[in-house]
Amino acid sequence: MAALAKTDSSLVAGDKIMVRQLTVHNIIGVDSWERSKRQPLTIDLTVHQQVDASGDTDLLSQTISYGTVSKTVQEFSEKTSYRSVEALAAGIARVCVEKCGAPRVTVRVEKPRALLHAACAGVQITRTKEEIGAMGSDGLGEAYQDQAEDREGEDQIFIKDLTLSTIIGVNPWEREERQRVVITLIIHLALDPQVLLSDHVPKVHNYRTITRTVSKYVESTNYKTVEALATSIARLLIKQCHVPKVTVRVEKPSAIVFAAAAGVEITRDRAYFGEKARASDPTPATSLDASAHSDDVDEETRGRLPHVVYLALGSNLGDSAKNINDAVTSLAGSAAIKVIDTSFLYETKAMYVTDQPNFINACCAIRTSLSPNDLLDFLKGIEAEMGRNFNGQRFGPRPIDLDILVYDRVEMSTERLIIPHPRIKEREFVLRPFADIAPDMEIPGLFRTVSQLLALLSHESAPTPSDKIRKVIPLKTTAGLWSWSTQTYIMGILNVTPDSFSDGGDAHTQSPDAAAQQAIKMAAAGAHIIDVGGMSTRPGADEPPVEIEIGRVVPVIEAIRKLDANIPISIDTYRAPVARAAIKAGANFINDVSGGSLDPDMITAMAETQVPVCLMHMRGTPKTMQQLTDYPAGQVVPTIAASLTSTVQQAMNKGVRRWNIILDPGIGFVKTGAQNYEILQKLPVLVGEAAPATATLDSEGQQQAPAARNALAGFPVLVGPSRKGFLSQGAVTGSQALDATSKKEQAKQRIYATAAACSAAIARGANVLRVHDVEEMADVVRVADRCFRDL
């Protein structure tokens, strides 16, 4: 009998004592609402303990009582609080070993409703008595490190029953409509012992990050088989999220009529996809990856300036918009810094000390070689040069305020500097511009993206109209800076050319003084900016010499400035020398119908002058453009969006600030009549949040998720339908041509059609209207604003 027992000793080594689905309550999580009350958790416990002695003697004293284990774990959970389920699991493993005498224990912690679209998420760890003993609060012994190497992949992070919608299947009806898929993910890894000791939520393999990545990907795919979908998810997690090994289960609940679900389960590791084993996973100090912010810099610059940093800028003394621009210019002037992106500008009420002027706020992204403390010193130097009083009231007025929001994935706290910024999640005036440039970046330690933090904050506190944060552009009216949320602005057209299609040769073109008087008349009638043009861009127009164009516009601008020093003046030109001369003469806006494409120096001129600009979509030149209207059917706006995206990126790469850019889809330029109407109908698509969902393949022929967000999202839009040919009665109604003696007179008779187009543009989100008939269109704008704007 003894010999038999000895022979079968390997069998009893696999004995287990189990407690399944034990409900406990613990304060767990990083969000404030998670810290307010204890949450239910489900615990599975497996004590790896031979039970042969108790089996032979029928004595409870010869085994570990599952009742004792349950009671011990419940008492421990009810008295403790943790930030991470990983640390809670480690704490439970410790009490099982130290108080219950378990030689080895597996702890599985499930957090129900941890994720909006999943049944639960959690962790599973296995620890031995020796490992627990080697884990001291002062460090990790060699014994722990040796055993940790032996159990590589034994720990798990899991997301259970993540329900998403996607195109999946081979049947025709499955190709037309999204259906539910249920995904379970198990990440196999060895958890960093420091995470367990210090109660830090893992930064690399965090279940919220994994879920967000997988959800965005799956909902953009259109595979025919669940096998391909499961494989692509595994590839995504291993290559993008850097997990060492993953099990993916994909189920289709609607696959078979008489079955609950059908699907596949696969397990893949780095070797399967040709990934080299990593000496260590990314640490909190590594640089932000491309998913956080995409910047077009070369490898040499990345090596020289390895750190990606996000800064907040604010000002409420003096010319606040100029102060912010000057601060960014100072940053860009350092050899140790490259500005890679800027946000829009926002006007906000003061948050902490409310009895002070409104602030202008912005964010910018930079690359730098400076350490956090050296960067702080540099920022303080800029603040001092710009006149900030560091001995003044805290949160009080200041000409400039520069804060480090995020520095790579660093988390640090000293008397001088805390990173990430400690008040980032309570400040909408920071999150709003931050979301312009990095909406999907996860804030270290908060485990929420910028856009998620903004959504949470907006949900918690709905502002009154007077408290709204308003997106602005540095153009001034008597009421302050232009605010895109308050009204539609009117750009009055002042052509000083003899050959303009609708007003060439009119009285105001005869002299600079006459033109200036016309400008003042338009301003009195409701124009917010005067657009001075010295060269016709009508289809087929000839291009005069640069000197002639300058000679037409500069005297007019100077004459207007003698009569009105404040009215914003735009220069309508696509040539850099004209733009520079006009700005020097007093203009403060560049309106380029070519979007910088017809003069290679124009974008540089825009960056040098640092004035607001309008970038319009056009193909070819005014002389050739109407021969280039061959857009794919139904793809006019996506084609325009793709072109403008490239234009905007080029402009920002050369130093044009995001807050200075207005977009113009180019109605009447390189478009047929039908295409112009399509633009008006689909105007919200141009600058909407979502980009067109078109799946693409990577270099391996695998399907990849499209861009999750429209690169043009949030940009203000200018529309110029005034008097243009597509509005003529014949083009729309099929009636006979207008009874007029010239094309110019025909254009002037399109005032009612222009009014309808302007109203439609406002209804579809236009911010600026470029018009000839200012007095009449001002009434149209006022009525349309009351109908369509949330004032």
Q: Which 3-state string (H, E, C) describes 60-91?
A: HHHCCCHHHHHHHHHHHHHHCEECCHHHHHHH
Q: Are 308 and 408 in contact (CB under 8 A)?
A: yes
Active site annotation includes 724:
yes
Determine the Cα–Cα distance for residues 627 and 643; give it in Å rounded to an integer.
18
List Cα–Cα distances, 102 to 129, 370, 782, in angstroms: 7, 50, 77
DSSP code of 27? E
Among all chains, which residue has been given the structure tokens 């010239």?
A: 742
Task: Tell me if residue 215 falls in helix, strand or coil.
Answer: helix
Check 203, 724, 750, 764 and give the catalytic one. 724
CA 614 to centroid of chain Cα atoms: 23
Determine the Cα–Cα distance for residues 399 and 357; give it in Å rounded to an integer.
11
Determine the Cα–Cα distance for residues 127 and 150; give it in Å rounded to an integer.
12
β-pairing, 16-28 with 39-48? antiparallel
Q: Are 323 and 413 in contact (CB under 8 A)?
A: no
Residue 50 CA neighbour count, 13 Å, CB half: 10
Q: Are 328 and 426 in contact (CB under 8 A)?
A: no
List Cα–Cα distances, 379 to 284, 328, 466, 583, in angstroms: 23, 11, 32, 30
Sequence-distant (6+) residues with CB within 8 A of 789 are: 485, 486, 487, 488, 762
List Cα–Cα distances, 14 to 57, 74, 169, in angstroms: 19, 26, 42
The closest of 242, 245, 246, 136 to 196, measured between CA atoms, is: 136
β-pairing, 104-112 with 489-495? unpaired
Determine the Cα–Cα distance for residues 240 and 235; give it in Å rounded to an integer.
8
Q: At what angle do helices 636-653 and 673-681 cross, to 10 degrees?
A: 70
Determine the Cα–Cα distance for residues 687 and 641; give it in Å rounded to an integer.
8
The pair of three-digit structure tokens given for residue 617, joined into one six-digit string:
């979509």
The closest of 283, 288, 241 to 407, measured between CA atoms, is: 288
Active site annotation includes 338:
no
Among all chains, which residue has been given the structure tokens 């000679």?
A: 551
Q: Are 655 and 611 in contact (CB under 8 A)?
A: no
In angstroms, what is the C-alpha Rg of the chain?
32
Sequence-distant (6+) residues with CB within 8 A of 642 are: none
List Cα–Cα distances, 433 to 105, 212, 363, 790, in angstroms: 48, 22, 6, 21
Task: Name the residue type at position 519.
Answer: A
List beta partners, residue 314.
361, 401
Cis omega (within 30 of 0) for bond into 420: yes
Residues labelled catalytic = 724, 770
